[in-house]
Each structure stands twice: as C-alpha cells, then as structure tokens.
Amino acid sequence: MGTVSMSITVLHFVFTLALSFSTGSVNGGNIPTTLEGPFKPVTVPLDQSFRGNAVDLPDTDPRVQRIVQGFEPEQISVSLSASSRSVWISWITGEFQIGDDISPLDPDSVESLVVYGVYGHPLNRKARGYSLVYNQLYPFEGLQNYTSGIIHHVRLKRLRPNTLYQYQCGDPQQGMSNLYYFKTMPVPGPKSYPSRIAVVGDLGLTYNTTSTVEHLTSNHPELVLLVGDVSYANLYLTNGTGADCYSCSFPQTPIHETYQPRWDYWGRYMQPLISNVPIMVIEGNHEIEQQAEDQVFVAYSSRFAFPSKESRSSSTMYYSFNAGGVHFIMLGAYISYDETSDQYKWLEADLAGINREVTPWLVATWHAPWYSTYTAHYREVECMRVAMEDLLYQYGVDLVFNGHVHAYERSNRVYNYTLDPCGPVYITVGDGGNREKMAIAHADEPENCPEPSETPDKYMGGFCASNFTSGPAAGKFCWDEQPEYSAYRESSFGHGILEVKNETHALWTWHRNRDIYRVAGDQIYIVRQPEKCPVGQ
C-alpha cells in the first residue's frame, strides 16, 4: 500500500472514530420518527433512467484482475466474531483453476498467519488459523469444473473494543500483504454503538454495483451488512457466458451451472473496502449453486468466515453477533426453519439469551422478505413468516433487513399483516446493483396480482400463502391499493445507513445511487418503546 492510500485509510478511520464519540442531535431538523406513524403509503414514480449501467464488469477490468504474484494474499476481508474482542481475517492465495483437467492446491502448503497490533504501535502479535480449498464440480461432459485458490481464515482474539488496529496477512516465506486496518466494535452496552452500519443487498458486480459501493464507501461505515446475493456467479455457464435470466437463456442445461471466477472478481473488487471495514454476509438464493452430489452453498460457506461456532450455531447459514448495543440475528431462508428444525431451536435459544439491558437493539436479517408489495417474489417465503414471525415478535425485534426484491421498500411497524406499534420495521434493500432487472410492478396494481399457484417457495418447497382472512384485503390474495403496512417504496439502486444514537433512537437513511451520497432518498428515526412493548412475554 502506497503512502497516499495509507493516509486515506487512516483519515477514514479518524473520521469514523470522531463520529463514534459525537452524540449529535437525536432528532434534528424535520426527520420523521416512527412514533408519528403509521404513515400514509408513498410510492415514488418510476424514474425511466433508473436502469443505468446494469452491465457486468468484464474480466478485463483492472479492478477485478489478479495483480499479486505466486502465493501472495489477495481478496482480503475482515468479518466480526460474536464479541467485540475478536475478528476474523480472510484471504486467498494461489490461482483458481477452471477446465476439464484441474488439480486442487494443497491447503497445507501455505501458512495462514496474521501479524497485527494497535495502530501506531509495532505489529507485535501473531495469530494462525486454518485454510481450505473448495471445488465446484459437474457430473456432465463438457462442463468446466473449478477449484479455488487456498482460502485462509484466521481469528484474532483478546482485542481491545472500539480500537483501531493494523495488520498484515500471508505467509512470510511466500509473501505477506500490504498494511491494512480495522476497527473493533464497541463493547456491548446501552450507550455504546458503531457510528454507521451500511446495509446493502443483491450486490453483484456491475457498473451499478460500482456506483453503490462508491456511495457506500463515501458514507464511512464501520460495518457492512450484505443481506444475500453476492457475486451472481450463477447467472453464467461454466464457459463464462452470462445472461440476465439464466432459465430464459439457458433452458437446456442439464444442471444449473455457475462461473466461479466471478467470485474471485468480486473479492478483488471489494478488497479495498472490506479489507478495512468488516463485512457480515447471509446467504441468498444466488448462493445455492448446486453441483455434483447435490452439494449447495459451497462457495458461500468457504469464502467467508462466520461466527457460527461462537454464537452456538452449527451452520454457516444462520448465526448471531453483537456490534456494541445491537444484537444481530442472521437467519437462513434456504434451510429448514419450522419449529422442529435446528435453526428454529437455535433461534429460540439465542433470543432467550439476549440481555436487552446490555444490547437494547435487536436486528434480524435474512434474504427473502416477508413484507413486500412487489410482484417479484410476492409472498414467496410465507411459510418462513408463518413459522418464525411469532417468535421474533415475542422477543421484540426492532428492525428487519431483507434483499431478494430488486427495489427499496420500508414498512410501518407491522405484525401478521396488521399495523402494530410493537411490530418490527421491515426494510427491503435488494437494490445493490445486480444485472437482473429492477423490480417495478406492484402486486396491488390492476392486473398485477399473481396467481397463488405461482408463489410457492421454489427452494424450500411448501405453500402457505392464501387469501387474507381479515382487514382491507379480506378474501383476496393481493391488496387493491398500496397496503397500509407499506410506508415507502421506490424502484432505484442504492444502499442504506443505520446510525444507532442511543437505546431508543436509530436513524435510518436510504441513499439512491443517482444522488450525491449526502442526499437522503428516504430517512426516518426508528424509535423503540420498551416500556410499551415488553419483550420475552
């Protein structure tokens, strides 16, 4: 890393540290609060120029090309552990292989080492971790198999909370990385929060993605939540041919192919951000990536480090962690979630173990939304809502973030499709920049209501969506106008920033890509009312 880029990185952290210690106004200006709701539904008219450059970055783009030599580290990223005193550092060494004749690298041939220390002090601490290689294999002649470079995951422990660290990763014999930085999360507590948390979904790697990431980076987050659909490698055949709609363009393929190098391109492009700012990811449908022997989610589970074990989860598909006084629950929409499932039992135990005096805020995340008014994926995961909504409501979840629907939508507080001052606010941010089409049509518009038979969960199976039995849509599968639970919706690319101010107020801001990053497309204070909405009853 050169002197200029090092200075920029350090200035970024100085800026975020200053934000961390500033209190600011809890409700300055004319920003509304959820206490003023429920709000009358708003639909922003479609901007016909919204599509922009929904074209994938080519492999010739210098931002996705491999620039390291031999077994030097690349695709470096930071992710959080379950506590503020630990983080994971991940990276890849060696080149991937794709073709008919591949020979996996030996994970034990390269050391997994991180040297680190508090910023401004020597790198006098060391940590070692583990390494792995994954394959994406196809049981059909003519399809190209893939084997990854060596993926390394190292957990750093006994860190100081809310502290800026510097680090290098790699193998001293094969090559160490440049110097990078990360800031640990604040210690859990009702007065202790990261300054800004970026939330984005359905990111992909298009020119729209680059706009989203540039805007997001300009907002100086201390943490990034990616709510599913990462690289969109599964929009490609194994020869690299891609399309907006896989099933439309490649209906005759014997298995749903993927082009795994898109994952490597994505990791290289994202490294300048996520090598310094922790990223937490949950799986989406584009991470399924079926291969030989019916293996799924292999790239997702291999490339990222998850605090699963630390949060007593047995799966990379669901886990939890704290970021100061916020407890995040990351759930899997593509793994069993009914009351008999391991995920449900884990969720029940995780919720029961939360001390809201220590972590007042409870935020849940999964990929496919329960509350969305767009025709795309309309009521698709109704079975998950039926299985889990009561539990989340019982324990007083404050906010839910989803992706999957390629648009933006924010709800009023809602529970079981009914306005409820103690229900969560649901926010869909599946507008990160993918190459698939933006969601535009709304199910409540004339002739847009899908047939119920078209809405079952395509991956988990099951069908739970039926006509509403009460309320304004009673006897119908769709509403006749924008539902009262839908407060704001807009078809545009963008990202969101969550700023938790104290134990009762959090500022949510959604930024459109077409605006300068300081301009808010949608903004509201989410206000908790613990005295009115007791939890765990």
Residues with catalytic roles: 377
β-pair type (164-171, 175-176) = antiparallel
Alpha carbon of 351 to those of 341, 367, 437: distances in Å?
Answer: 16, 19, 36
Asked if 134 and 96 touch (Cβ cutoff 8 Å), the reply is no
Q: Token pair of 355, please? A: 């001390």
The alpha-carbon radius of gyration of the chain (Å, integer) is 22
Q: Token pair of 220, please? A: 């100086």
Instruction: Please state, in angstroms and rounded to a whole number, the distance separating the CA atoms of residues 495 and 521.
Output: 10
DSSP state of 493: -
Instruction: Please state, in angstroms and rounded to a whole number, the distance separating the CA atoms of residues 304 and 176.
Output: 20
Alpha carbon of 499 to those of 367, 402, 466: distances in Å?
Answer: 21, 18, 37
Output the DSSP codes for 423-442: SPEEEEE--S--SSPPP--B
Question: Measuring CA to CA, which residue among 209, 211, 119 is closest to residue 164?
Answer: 119
Q: Which helix (H) or strand (E) segment is 282 a member of?
A: none
Question: Measuring CA to CA, which residue among 38, 47, 51 is closest to residue 482?
Answer: 38
CB burial string 427-449: b at 16+ within 10 A, e below: bbbbbbbbbbebbebbbbbeeeb
**Other CB atoms within 10 A of residue 42 CB:** 13
Alpha carbon of 43 to those of 52, 410, 440, 453: distances in Å?
Answer: 21, 11, 11, 27
Virtual torsion, Cα 471, 476, 482, 484, nearest 10 deg: 10
Handedness of CA 357, 84, 497, 438 (dihedral sign): negative
